[in-house]
Amino acid sequence: MGTYHAGSLAVQELMGVRDRADHVGRSLGQDIKPVAAAFLELQPLLIAGAADPGTGRVWASALTGSPGFVRATGPRQMSVAGGTAEGDPLTTALTAPGTHLGTIALDPRTRRRMRLNGRLRPTARGFAVEADQVFSNCPKYIQRRESYETVADRLPGSPLRLNELGPEQQEFIRVADTFFLATVHPGGADVSHRGGNPGFVTVTSAGELTWPDYSGNAMFLTLGNLRTDPRAGLLFLDWTTGTTLQLTGEAHTEFTDGGERRVRFTLGAALWTPAALPLRWSAPEYSPANPDIAR
């Protein structure tokens, strides 16, 4: 398979960035370089995304552990110790051999991120991913958080399954400065980061969200996936309390004549889990790249 599939190529053509995308696409490889391996071993958080093999719904989930729980165990293999919490909608996918899995490791302390996509293989301690794509992105739109601590006595609340967003979940989204977006295409899966000043995601109803697609690396991997397959999974998290909100549904991109883009997401189902993650991060320093939010 080439660097890009038909969906990404179509969006690149539409936006007039094919030459730039070809240049940037040279950064996509299969090898986990030593600097990338060292980065992985420092992370307490990994976001994974895939389609559930039973329902077909796409979900994004957060995995946590002591630094070293994610590591490179070969030039093209990443291993993860542990897995999701009981009842997490991604659990089946993370135990199914051959699952197309997208992952992103994001470090708010350094504003660095690394994506690794490939095929999953269950292991005795968790799972491994044979890499198809390994690449890093620029620090744009990542909010800096200087430090974190693990709250050992934090106990997750009971997960609440929802078919629409209640007032608490809607406000949770409105104040978010970050979320993660899982998408799929016939040859794989991907998880990307979306960030901005609080309010950059708009809740238009109990079953619909929209957000602007800010300028990025011109590869249009996420929008290309959505052009091919609209299924999507969103993960919002509270960096202080560890509460998570997982959404699954469909997303469509709206293009304007001025070259601006907005993504509209329609909710299929949601999972709200208070205190799901044991990590408590320090207050954010918002990225200088974040556009102002029109009020």
Range scoring the smallest mean pLDDT among 9-23, 49-63, 261-275: 9-23
pLDDT in tens, 217-243: 777 888 889 999 999 999 999 999 999
pLDDT in tens, 100-133: 999 999 999 999 999 999 999 999 999 999 999 9
pLDDT in tens, 46-58: 999 999 999 999 9
What is the rounded average pLDDT of the residues 18-25?
80
Of 174, 164, 156, 182, which Cα lies nearest the Cα of 244?
156
CB atoms within 10 A of CB 68: 12
What is this structure's pTM?
Answer: 0.96
pLDDT in the model for residue 294: 66
The yes-or-no verdict on residue 11 having pLDDT over 90 is no
The yes-or-no verdict on residue 92 having pLDDT over 90 is yes
Distance from C-alpha of 149 to C-alpha of 155, rounded to nearest angstrom: 15
Q: Where are the alpha helices (DSSP H) in the chain?
A: 6-15, 18-24, 34-40, 167-174, 221-228
Distance from C-alpha of 12 to C-alpha of 1, rounded to nearest angstrom: 17
What is the rounded average pLDDT of the residues 174-180?
98
**3-state class (DSSP) for residue 190:** strand
Distances (CA, A) of 53 to 46, 78, 92, 95, 114: 21, 22, 7, 10, 25
Phi-psi region of 76 (alpha: psi -120 to 50; beta: other; left: phi over 0): alpha
Can you say how many angstroms the Cα of residue 230 is from the centroid of all Cα atoms in its chain? 15
pLDDT in the model for residue 8: 82
- pLDDT exceeding 70 applies to what percent of the chain? 99
- pLDDT exceeding 90 applies to what percent of the chain? 79
Average pLDDT over all residues of the chain: 94
For the record, the structure tokens of 142 come out as 């990542």
The yes-or-no verdict on residue 35 having pLDDT over 80 is yes
Given the candidates 3.30.420.40, 3.20.20.140, 1.10.10.10, 2.30.110.10, the CATH classification of the domain at 6-281 is: 2.30.110.10
The yes-or-no verdict on residue 295 having pLDDT over 50 is no
Please tell me which residue, 154 or 257, carries the higher pLDDT value.
Answer: 154
**What letter would DSSP give residue 124?**
S
